[in-house]
Structure 1
Amino acid sequence: MNLLEAGVLLAAESARYTAMGWMRGTSGNLSVRLGDDPLRLAVTASGLDKGELTASDVVEIDAFGNAMSPGVPSAEAGLHGRIAAVSGAGAVIHVHVLAPVLAGERWPDGVVLRDLEMLKGFGRQAHDDTVTIPVVPNSQDMAVLGDAFEAGFRADTPALIVARHGLYVWGADLHQARHRAECLEWLLRFILEA
Structure 2
Amino acid sequence: MSVGQDLADEAARYASMGWMRGTSGNLSVVLDRDPLRLAVTASGLDKGELTADDHVEVDAHGEPLGPGVPSAEAGLHARIAAVSGAGAVVHVHALAPVLAAERWPGGVQLADLEMLKGFGRQAHGDLVTIPVIPNGQDMRVLGDAFERGYRADTPALIVARHGSYVWGADLRQARHRLECLEWLLRFILETGRGA
User: Could you list the per-position Cα deviations for residues 4-29 of structure 1 after superposition, in whole angstroms to 9, with x for gaps in the alignment?
Assistant: 92111000000000000000110000
Aligned residue number for residue 14 of structure 1? 11
| 8 Å Cα contact 1:123-1:180 kept in structure 2 | no
**Which of 44, 47, 59 is matched with 2:44 structurally?**
47
Q: Give the secondary structure class of the aligned counterpart of 2:71.
A: coil
Deviations 1:126-164 (A, max 9, x none): 001000000000000000000000000000000000000
Q: Which amino acid aligns with 1:73?
A: P
Aligned mates of 1:63, 1:20 — CA distance in 2: 30
Matched, 1:176 2:182: no
TM-score using structure 2 length: 0.97
In structure 2, list runs of 5 or more residues that go unmatched.
none
**Counterpart in 2 of 1:162?**
159
Q: Which runs of 4+ in 1 moved over 6 A?
A: none
Q: 2:2 & 2:28 partners in 1: Cα distance? A: 12
Aligned match of 1:37: 34
What residue number does 2:60 align with? 63
Whichever residue aligns with residue 186 of structure 1, its letter is: W
Structure 1, unmatched stretches of 5+, are none
- May I ask how many residue pairs the two structures share in their alignment? 191
In structure 2, the residue matched to 1:139 is 136
Counterpart in the other structure of 1:106:
103
* Counterparts of 2:120 and 2:178, CA distance in 1: 11
CA-based RMSD of the aligned residues comes to 0.7
Q: Which residue identity is paired with 1:114?
A: A
What secondary structure sits across from 1:50 in the alignment? coil
- Deviation per residue, 1:33-54 (Å, 9 max, x gap): 1011101000000000000000
Q: Secondary structure at the match of 1:160?
A: strand
Are the counterparts in 2 of residues 31 and 93 from structure 1 also a CA contact under 8 Å?
yes
| Aligned-partner Cα distance in 1 for 2:113–2:13 | 26
Instruction: Establish whether residue 91 from structure 1 lines up as the match of residue 95 from structure 2.
Output: no
Structure 2 residue identity aligned to 1:47: G
Counterparts of 1:42 and 1:125, CA distance in 2: 32
CA distance in 2, matches of 1:69, 1:35: 15
Q: Percent identity?
A: 80
Secondary structure in 2 matching 1:149: helix
Matched residues in 2 for 1:123 and 1:71: separation? 36
- Report the TM-score, using the length of structure 1 for normalisation: 0.97
| Aligned with residue 192 of structure 1, among 182, 189, 192 | 189
